[in-house]
């Protein structure tokens, strides 16, 4: 069984953060203030705890955006 080294874990974490940043760019929010983005994400996290239909709606929007990816 292979062990994940600290270096491997850091690389994986870095890659995940880069991918998440790419989502901000893809959403057209690259030039928004970080405080606004964080506030929006915190509010969304709270909404998703209580509104399953909102989760489904947003998944559909995201899936369509990925499906129409021309990059």
Q: Hey, CA dihedral for 19, 58, 39, 43, is it positive or negative?
A: negative
Distances (CA, A) of 11 to 1, 14, 19, 24: 20, 5, 12, 20
Q: What is the pLDDT of residues 37-71, one digit of tens each?
A: 999 999 999 999 999 899 999 999 999 999 976 44
User: Which band of pLDDT confidence, cut at 50, 70 and 90, is reported for residue 9?
Assistant: very high
Contact assessment for residue 29 and residue 36, using Cβ atoms and an 8 Å cutoff: no
- pLDDT value, residue 71: 45
d(CA 15, CA 55): 25
CA distance from start to end of the chain:
37
- pLDDT value, residue 15: 96
């Amino acid at each position: 069984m292979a062990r994940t080294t600290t270096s491997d874990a850091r690389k994986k974490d870095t890659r995940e953060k880069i991918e998440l940043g790419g989502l901000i760019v893809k959403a057209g929010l690259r030039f928004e203030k970080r405080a606004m983005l964080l506030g929006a994400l915190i509010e969304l996290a709270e909404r998703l705890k209580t509104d399953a239909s909102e989760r489904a709606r947003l998944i559909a929007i995201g899936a369509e955006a990925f499906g129409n990816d021309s990059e």
